[in-house]
Structure 1
Amino acid sequence: MLEPFDGDGLRPGMSRPRARLRVGGQAVIRHQLDLALAAGAQRILLLADAGEEGVDGVLRAAREQGVDARRISDSPGLCAMVSTADEILLLTDGLLSDPATALPMLDKGSMVATLPIEPGLSLGFERLDAERAWAGLLLMPGSLCERLRQLPRDCDVASSLLRIALMAGVATKPVDEACLDDHRWAIVANNRIAHGVEAAQLSRSLEETRGRTPGPRLAAMAVRRFSASFLETDRSPVLLWYAALAVLLVAGGVTAFVSVWSGLLLFAFAWLAGRGALVLEEAVRQGRIGMTARSRMWRGAASLFDVMLVVALGFALTDGDWARLGGWYLAFVLVATVAIGEFQAEPERVRVWLADRFMLCVALALFAYTGMLAPFAMVLSALVLGAWAVVARGGGNGRRG
């Protein structure tokens, strides 16, 4: 059994525990809870005063995951809950750790995580000795907890357990210093640090999703500009997905029944909103346990976008006359050619441009405004198919030779 214990004691004057600060729309203590549960915790012990804001919510979230969760207020309370057969997983107040780094360390048994002394102290971690600082994470046998009974009732529980573990010979394990440099391991002591962690997460997300064409770059610029507002809520990616869907539905209606070029511009903005939601989701995913690397919602949204674009273009090219099959066929061929080419066309830079629906919709809007939508759709489809055929034939000849 693991006994997670969140907190490093409530020090005098600490009216707001650091664990309640928010990173990526979620309180640090909820990140800690996720880590403890992923490590196999069967009981959560939270050091906090009675009536402390947010405590009940964390305990309730833990119980919803099927584990026992309780509040304790001092070292005797901890000793009463821990048996000699248990293990104690201790997370210091405000610790935000990278699960990809922390979980493998915990898999190997009792340990005290450490950092180099200079960067560790400068970032708010506790000193161990002349060369090392405590990284805020340890796993120790529950039998050692009994030694707390020899200390004053109001002792700093986390620091005391740390010293007990070291004196008992629990092994130390270093945390990769690179985790400090890119804010994947931090003591979130104030909002400035929280915003710094969010900025680092967003930068990694933008690096992964920025793209090389105007559409993804514009989406990345917009997310970076409004990132502080977006990341205030845990559900910001979902809200942006809904906003993209709303704009998409409006775009379809405007294209089909009001103004073709205006509607196609709305399609472009709907795609930007969806791409921005993907960037945000990648940022929120940093350090989260159980979130996939790439959203399934993006794949579903991309398919819905293409279907809506086919329908809207079909209405625009035929004035809504279902008997004019040529226009519907052209709309389908254009979007299908671009969609398939996004994954199959060669070389790779061509696929990148075909994947940029923002540029496609802007170009369609421009030619619709000049009354040349149908000729442009024909030429674009023919160019993509022709280039594809040339590349395919060249590859086939190469294989036969």
Structure 2
Amino acid sequence: MLAGLLFAVQETDDRPERLTATLPFGGVTLIEYQARLLIEAGAGQIIVLVARLTPELLGAVSRIGRRGVTVDAVRHIAEAAGKLHPLARVLVLADGLITTERVVATLAGEGGDALLVVPQTDAGPVFERLGGAQAWAGVARLDPRRFADAARLPADYDAQSTLLRVAEQARATHVMLPTEALAHGHGIERDRVALERRGRAVLAAIVSDRRGWFDRRVVAPLARWTLPAMIDRGWPGLGVAMIGGLIGLTGLVAVALGWSTTGLVFAFAGCLVLALGATLSGLRDEPRIERAQRVGGLAVPALAALFLGAATSGMAGNVAALAVAAALVTIAALAERAGPERLRRWWWGSAPAYLLLVMVATAAHWPLVGMAIAAAYAAATLAAAIERLRRQA
């Protein structure tokens, strides 16, 4: 099993009475964001090593526990050692670490003791130095025995440094930090302003780290421009979901009434707002709202295609357009089911991408051609997804 260890010990540089772990980050606290990274990596247990339990930290620990994992707050390494299963793998994140899911996944797999490292020339001022002109990059995978070893050392030693030195003595493997991670905001901060600045880089990396071309080329640039302001101003995820849903619904009504191009533009805009809202809700640990927006992002393009097919068939006096629209929705739904995010290739289609093709063709007065092209694109995506699943079977 995979467990995680987080630290809430260091105080901020600008406000000594506040813990770095409780600084705001992405609409939550930094330690909640770190816990989310561990949970996404597969951790079923999270241990928080604390110096003191502040009201902000108690609230954060309580919210982490609502995500379906076991959360224990301890004051000493010996207590942490007693909470761990002997066969567990423990992912350790440094106090004040800001990083992305991809970096944490580097050490989330099977294996022995390992430390994520970076050359000293690239290390920040609070990175802990190791031998060989390297520094610890803030992520480690440790055997539970390292905690027992560290617990035998004097209790007044710094817990994080102690675990790091024990791992070094056990000849932990050094894994180099991916070269692009530092540019994407990876680092350790104990200052609120610096944390906010680095957080923007991490947020940009999160929204850009998508596999499909549509998310990378359309959604990600828009998210980099809008999400930081939405987070700073405290926009609620539910509010964004309602705005996106209303815009999408307006578009569907317009398509159904025969205003095809205008309606498709509104439907497409609604999908973009729902995609932004889903990312925002994910950052704020609002899984139900996030799930609802992702479902909405699939439903709006499907209904828009069906309404357009019905309207076009009514004008042409045959059912050809409606049949093509139904085929598009069916094939696209199967492709979505057959191609989960972790398996997707960059060129594969998605519901908003199909809607974009249909919208452009409809604006050129070729709605049937647009739906046919989108259906062919969905069919190619489905075929590629099936072949990829067959190779993995």
In the superposition, the TM-score normalised over structure 2's length comes to: 0.66
CA distance in 1, matches of 2:115, 2:161: 12
The RMSD of aligned alpha carbons is 4.7
Deviation of 1:192 (Å): 0.9
**Contact kept in structure 2, 1:205 and 1:279, CA below 8 Å:** no
Which residue matches 2:315?
Answer: 327
Aligned match of 1:165 in 136, 160, 167? Answer: 167
1:7 and 2:4 correspond: no
CA distance in 2, matches of 1:98, 1:132: 21
Which residue matches 2:204?
Answer: 199
% identical aligned pairs:
19
Runs of 5+ consecutive residues of structure 1 not aligned to the other structure: 315-324, 364-375, 389-401
CA distance in 2, matches of 1:380, 1:39: 43
Deviation of 1:161 (Å): 1.2
Question: What amino acid does structure 2 have at the position aligned with 1:209?
Answer: F
Which residue matches 1:299?
Answer: 298
Which residue matches 1:134?
Answer: 136
CA distance in 2, matches of 1:89, 1:234: 32
**Contact kept in structure 2, 1:47 and 1:71, CA below 8 Å:** yes
1:114 and 2:113 correspond: no
Task: Give aligned pairs, total.
Answer: 341
**Contact kept in structure 1, 2:267 and 2:300, CA below 8 Å:** no
1:247 and 2:247 correspond: yes
Q: Which protein shows a greater Rg? A: 1
CA distance in 2, matches of 1:175, 1:23: 22
User: Deviations for 1:311-333, whole angstroms, at most 9, x for unmatched residues?
Assistant: 6x47xxxxxxxxxx953746x64
Aligned match of 1:90 in 89, 92, 95? Answer: 92
Q: Describe the shift of the 1:245–1:361 C-alpha distance in structure 2 as closer, same or farther (beyond 3 A).
A: farther
Runs of 5+ consecutive residues of structure 2 not aligned to the other structure: 333-346, 348-352, 376-393
Deviation of 1:249 (Å): 2.9
Query: Secondary structure of the equivalent of 1:121?
Result: coil
CA distance in 2, matches of 1:353, 1:60: 38
Query: Secondary structure of the equivalent of 1:136?
Result: strand
Deviation of 1:20 (Å): 3.8
Structure with larger RCO (C-alpha < 8 A, sep 6+): 1
Superposition pairs for residues 2-401 of structure 1, below 5 Å? 3-7=3-7, 9-11=9-11, 14-21=16-23, 24-37=26-39, 41=43, 43-48=45-50, 49-59=52-62, 61-62=64-65, 65-67=68-70, 69-75=71-77, 77-78=79-80, 81=83, 88-106=90-108, 107-121=110-124, 124-129=126-131, 131-149=133-151, 151-183=153-185, 185-187=186-188, 189=190, 190-204=195-209, 208-209=213-214, 223-231=223-231, 236=237, 240=240, 242-253=242-253, 265-278=262-275, 281=278, 297-310=296-309, 313=311, 326-327=314-315, 329=317, 333-334=320-321, 337=324, 355-359=356-360, 381=368
CA distance in 1, matches of 2:279, 2:28: 15
**Contact kept in structure 2, 1:339 and 1:354, CA below 8 Å:** no
Query: Secondary structure of the equivalent of 2:123?
Result: helix
Question: What amino acid does structure 2 have at the position aligned with 1:93?
Answer: D
**Contact kept in structure 1, 2:184 and 2:204, CA below 8 Å:** no
User: Deviations for 1:266-308, whole angstroms, at most 9, x for unmatched residues?
Assistant: 541231221343366579889x9x999x956533321112234
In the superposition, the TM-score normalised over structure 1's length comes to: 0.65
**Contact kept in structure 1, 2:248 and 2:271, CA below 8 Å:** no
CA distance in 1, matches of 2:90, 2:206: 30
Query: Secondary structure of the equivalent of 2:135?
Result: strand
Question: What amino acid does structure 2 have at the position aligned with 1:269?
Answer: F
Q: Describe the shift of the 1:245–1:283 C-alpha distance in structure 2 as closer, same or farther (beyond 3 A).
A: closer
CA distance in 2, matches of 1:304, 1:11: 52
Deviation of 1:46 (Å): 0.8
CA distance in 1, matches of 2:106, 2:221: 35
Deviation of 1:196 (Å): 1.7
